[in-house]
Amino acid sequence: MFQMRSVPLLVGANGELSYVIAHGNEEGLFSVDQLTGAVTVAGRLDAVFGRSFRLVLTVKDHGSPERLSVADLTVAVNATTTSPAAAAVSRHGLTCACS
């Protein structure tokens, strides 16, 4: 799991945030919690081992005017491991890089 975090500096609608995967999830393999920004696996990854996905995540407030932030998340799907300790560190065989 990866979590995009934004800290609202304002109150009211300006402080309410919504997260979305704006691009890169055409296969529906990932989901984002709209309220927390937590990105999780939503589909089967066994058919996409060895592939990488570039997800574009956005967070916006509900103020007027709206403010928007963008983050790129690269997810590399690796072969899963049978080691419980390694699996706990690299859940679902994913490697993530964020910029």
For residue 85, give the CATH number of its domain: 2.60.40.60
* Residue 1 located in a structural domain: no
pLDDT confidence band for 63 (50 / 70 / 90): confident
* Residue 79 located in a structural domain: yes
- CA-CA distance, 94 to 99, in Å (whole number)? 16
* Residue 71 located in a structural domain: yes
What percentage of the chain carries pLDDT values higher than 70?
64
Q: What is the pTM of this model?
A: 0.69
* Residue 7 located in a structural domain: no
Q: What is the pLDDT of residue 50?
A: 83
Over range 51-71, report the average pLDDT. 88
Residue labelled with tokens 């990854």: 45
* Residue 2 located in a structural domain: no
pLDDT confidence band for 2 (50 / 70 / 90): low
Cα separation values, 39 from 13, 49, 97, Å: 23, 19, 13
- The domain in which residue 78 lies consists of 12-98
pLDDT tops 70 at residue 9: no
